[in-house]
């Protein structure tokens, strides 16, 4: 069960690395297309998306610390914190932006939390 929890947490982290890239360095090209934004609308929301990408980077950082910290209790706390933040952000995004965010972001994080606590 512990391995499954780690795999899911790693997948959540990787998805968020991709999201960070889409919201920051790839926003003008791939990010704009993925988010379905016209060139004009992308110009308007670019600063907010970059800021959002920064916050998503912190979620990735928390999950990475969960993998590398030598103290198992601290590593576990970072993993739980990271997954919980992803889940909450996913719920908020699902309610305010697009329902599919619930499947892409919230569900994997909740599964990761469930597996983590079951392990």
Name which of 109, 105, 65 is nearest 83 in CA terms.
109
The string of DSSP codes covering 47-59 is HHHHHHHHHHHHH
Q: What is the pLDDT of residue 28?
A: 92
Say how many domains are in the chain.
Answer: 1
Quote the pLDDT of residue 42: 94
- pTM for the model: 0.92
pLDDT along the chain (119 residues), means of 10: 93 97 95 93 95 95 97 97 97 94 96 96
Residue range(s) defining the domain that contains residue 95: 2-118
């Amino acid at each position: 069960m512990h391995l499954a929890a780690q795999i899911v947490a790693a997948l959540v982290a990787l998805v968020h690395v991709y999201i960070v890239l889409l919201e920051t360095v790839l926003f003008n090209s791939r990010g704009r297309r993925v988010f379905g934004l016209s060139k004009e609308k992308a110009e308007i929301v670019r600063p907010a998306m970059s800021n959002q990408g920064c916050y998503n980077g912190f979620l990735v950082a928390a999950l990475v610390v969960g993998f590398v910290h030598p103290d198992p209790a601290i590593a576990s706390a970072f993993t739980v914190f990271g997954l919980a933040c992803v889940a909450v952000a996913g719920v908020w995004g699902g309610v305010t932006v697009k329902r599919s965010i619930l499947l892409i972001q919230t569900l994997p994080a909740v599964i990761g939390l469930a597996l983590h606590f079951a392990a």
